[in-house]
A and B are shown apart, each in its own frame.
Chain A
Amino acid sequence: AQSVTQLGSHVSVSEGALVLLRCNYSSSVPPYLFWYVQYPNQGLQLLLKYTTGATLVKGINGFEAEFKKSETSFHLTKPSAHMSDAAEYFCAVLVAGGSYIPTFGRGTSLIVHP
């Protein structure tokens, strides 16, 4: 079985501050991991993904995430928050060899203060 836990339903940062959104997964086999972003009244869009290879993954809009197997984590970071980063962020996990159906976390709302 696969699952993902996102710690913190809301994260509030000041503009220019570091963004850290946490995601931990549970999977009995090596997972594929994703971060999606959802802006108000829009569909989810892919920020970045980890499948194989390099554990530090860079995505769009300056975001990156690191796959840490020992910690079963895939936290999302950005060095400097921008007002336009305010959105809902979802972590998702998918297990190879199965039905390839992603399981999503509950989401973290990122609030950016001027």
Chain B
Amino acid sequence: GAGVSQSPRYKVAKRGQDVALRCDPISGHVSLFWYQQALGQGPEFLTYFQNEAQLDKSGLPSDRFFAERPEGSVSTLKIQRTQQEDSAVYLCASSLEYRGPPGELFFGEGSRLTVL
């Protein structure tokens, strides 16, 4: 596709359920980022991939959060045993560059997770 695609767009989970959020970046983009955006807040960094390598996962809030990008393209963010505080919009962004002066991040529309 032409842009970054995220699915599902909306997810309602009961507390304790596991969820998986998918990101399909722009073809050929090396870098992939996951951000969490709480209501009324800016995007908060979760994790970063360069191709299939997860270079930084310092933003993952707990060990219930796990992300992977096994073939260097599609990425999945998994949240185990969801809690109400996990309710947020999860944003995926990709970028062609991985070194040197940074270019533009291309964002998907996000996956809105509501935990009841």
Residues in A lying within 8 Å of B, measured CB to CB: 6, 9, 32, 36, 41-46, 49, 51-52, 90, 94, 96, 99-107
Contact = CB atoms under 8 A, between A and B. Distances in A.
B109 A101 contact: no
A101 B105 contact: no
Interface of B: 3-4, 31, 33, 35, 40-45, 48, 55-56, 91, 93, 97-99, 101-102, 104-110
Nearest to A43: B107
B43 A52 contact: no
A42 B31 contact: no
B61 to A, nearest CB: 16
Contact of A43 (B40, B42, B91, B102): B91
Give the interface centre of B42, B48, B55 by most chain A CB atoms within 10 Å: B42
A51 to B, nearest CB: 5
15 contacts: A6-B42, A43-B3, A43-B4, A43-B93, A43-B110, A49-B102, A52-B101, A90-B43, A99-B55, A99-B56, A100-B98, A101-B56, A104-B35, A104-B44, A107-B41
Contacts of B41: 106-107
Contacts of B97: 100
Contacts of B48: 99, 101
Instruction: Pick the 5 closest A-B CB pairs, nearest first.
Output: A43-B107, A104-B42, A44-B107, A46-B104, A106-B42
Given A43-B91, A44-B91, A51 B101 contact: yes
Contacts of A104: 35, 42-44
A102 B105 contact: yes
B109 A43 contact: yes
A109 to B, nearest CB: 9
Given A43-B110, A102-B102, A103-B45, 16 more contacts: A6-B42, A42-B109, A43-B3, A43-B108, A44-B93, A46-B104, A51-B101, A90-B42, A90-B43, A99-B48, A100-B99, A101-B33, A101-B56, A102-B33, A102-B105, A106-B40
